[in-house]
Amino acid sequence: IPTRQLPDAVEGKEIYQLTPFLVESQEREVSPYTPNCEMGRWHPAFVDVTAKGNTKQKGIDEIIRHFGIRLEDTIAFGDGGNDISMLRHAGIGIAMGNAADHVKAAADYVTDTVDNDGIAKAIEQWVMKNGK
């Protein structure tokens, strides 16, 4: 959508997330003007902007509440800065091998890269490890 058409395109609609192309210096400049938002960077060129509290962590809580699952029985996979709170919150947080070091540090385990079937490998290892 061209910038000049954006107000007409979003007027009267609920917006759950924006992903603008902002480098880190631009994010710091814009952040003071978005006090009710959180920014989760997962790429050097852009960032996720969501309402405060509308995080992947909250998504886990909503899913487990709906299905009656215990938090300690959850596994989350992530590879970006926007996944850190989710990785820390889940029963088991697994970072992808292609994740940045600060994302890997937030996880309980690190698996192979996305391109090398990291999720499948982690699930196979976890199932075998726990005999399920």
Give mean pLDDT, residues 102-131.
Answer: 89
The topology (CATH level 3) of 3-51 is 3.30.1240
For all residues of the chain together, what is the average pLDDT?
88
Of residues 121 and 81, the one with the higher pLDDT is 121
* Residue 127 banded pLDDT, cuts 50, 70, 90: low
Q: Is the pLDDT of residue 11 over 90?
A: no
Give mean pLDDT, residues 9-34.
Answer: 85
Q: Is the pLDDT of residue 124 over 70?
A: yes
Which of the following CATH numbers is that of domain 56-130: 2.40.50.140, 3.40.190.10, 3.40.50.300, 3.40.50.1000?
A: 3.40.50.1000
Share of the chain above pLDDT 70, in %: 92
Q: What is the pTM of this model?
A: 0.73
Place of tokens 């309980």: 108
Domain range summary for the chain, segments of one domain joined by +? 3-51, 56-130
82 to 40, 41, 63, 67, 121: CA distances (angstroms):
4, 6, 18, 24, 23
